[in-house]
Structure formats: structure tokens, C-alpha cells
A = this chain, B = another copy of it.
Amino acid sequence: MQLIYCIIEMEQVFKALAASSRRKMLDRLHIKQGVTLSELVEGLDMRRQSATRHIAVLEQAELIVTLWQGREKLHYLNPVPLEEISRRWLDKFSQNKAAAIISLKQALEENNNE
């Protein structure tokens, strides 16, 4: 169960990170937390309603958490999923980075000598 949950979550996180406008939102929340929707949209070259959709994607991936304060919706960054991705997926590639590059180089050289 836990495994299935994680796979689904990872899928959502990777998908959420695929759009530059969403990464930009995360960048901004990284600098300043508790930002309202209107503030978050500024400089994003899209309507507020479109940004809402992007935020929903980020929320589903649990990359941001939101809180209502009166009529304002405040947005907070949750860095946990990013670290999960980094730890359980990306890291394993850098661990064998040297081996991968050597095998790649060897293949290239063998190919050149033919």
C-alpha cells in the first residue's frame, strides 16, 4: 500500500514540476511564504484563473499547502516531496554517475575506432 501511494505521489510531483510556470511559483514561495493568489500570479503572464489551475496541480502533489485567512488564500511551500524525489530517485543516478560515464565513454571510443 505504502509503495503504491509513493508511486502515485511521485508521478504527481514530477508532473507538477514539468511546467516552468509552476516551478517559478515554487521559486517565489521559496523566497517568501504565505503569499496570496493575486500576489503569486504577478509577473506570470497568465490570468488569475489559469494560475489557480497550476496551483491545484501543485497542491495535489503536496508541494504547496494553502490556508484561508478571511477572503485571502495564503500559499506555503512544502519542500518534503522535492526531497523525497531527490532522495529516492535522483540520488541513485548520481551514485553510479562515474560508472555510467565511463561506460558511455568506452562505448563512444570503441565506436570511433571502427
> Chain A's interface: helix, strand, loop or mixed, by majority?
helix
Q: Do B83 and A103 touch (CB < 8 A)?
A: no
| Interface positions of A (Cβ within 8 A of B) | 11, 14-15, 17-18, 20, 23, 26, 30, 33-34, 65, 67, 69, 74, 76-80, 82-83, 85-86, 89-94, 96-97, 100-101, 103-104, 107-108, 111
Q: Do A103 and B76 touch (CB < 8 A)?
A: yes
Out of B11, B14, B20, B83, name the residue touching A97 (CB < 8 Å).
B83
* Closest beta carbon of chain B to A90's beta carbon, Å: 5
- The interface residues of chain B lying within 8 Å CB-to-CB of A83 are 90, 93-94, 97
Closest to A32 in B: B103
Closest to A29 in B: B100
